[in-house]
Amino acid sequence: MEINFSLQQLEEVAEKIIAQNPNKVILFHGEMGVGKTTLIKQLCKSLGVIGATSSPTFSLVNEYETATNQLVYHFDFYRLNNEIEALDMGIDDYLYSGNWCFIEWAEKIPNLIPESHSLITISLLADDKRLLKLN
């Protein structure tokens, strides 16, 4: 699936992603500042997350709960030094929990990613629009 969109269309984009029934482990690729975290926040909202969401840049993972008591994990591995750090934080428990796992900077843990995952790539286009590809 490919979508050209502006940030004003994020709610619609998140709904389209969820409607595609992607794997619950989703990797987000794109340059810094392209809108990965912003999209993840909207996905959380669309999934029914209660309360505020924020980037886990310093904590590595944020855990959210939906109105139906489902858990959503948001990872940001930008500051991760190596895969051992991810293993030390129990990454396997998260990734194989059956809960939503949204992962930014997954290229830092290439050997730990489950075989069953989806990939969202976002790139910046002209006029402040984005191109999203879901595989």
What per-residue confidence (pLDDT) applies to 79?
92
Place of tokens 């998260």: 94
What per-residue confidence (pLDDT) applies to 105?
96
3-state secondary structure of 92: helix
DSSP state of 33: T
> Where along the chain do its domains lie?
2-134
What per-residue confidence (pLDDT) applies to 58?
72
Question: Per residue in 59-74, pLDDT tens?
Answer: 899 999 999 999 999 9
pLDDT at 22 over 80: yes
Burial (CB count <10 Å: 0-12, 13-18, 19+), residue 73: buried
Question: Per residue in 94-134, pLDDT tens?
Answer: 999 999 999 999 999 999 999 999 999 999 998 999 999 99
Q: What is the mean pLDDT of residues 9-25?
A: 97
pTM value > 0.75: yes
Question: Per residue in 27-83, pLDDT tens?
Answer: 999 999 999 999 999 999 999 998 888 888 778 999 999 999 999 999 999 999 999
Considering the four listed CATH numbers 3.40.50.12160, 1.20.140.10, 1.10.8.60, 3.40.50.300, the one that applies to the domain covering 2-134 is 3.40.50.300
Q: What is the mean pLDDT of residues 1-22?
A: 96
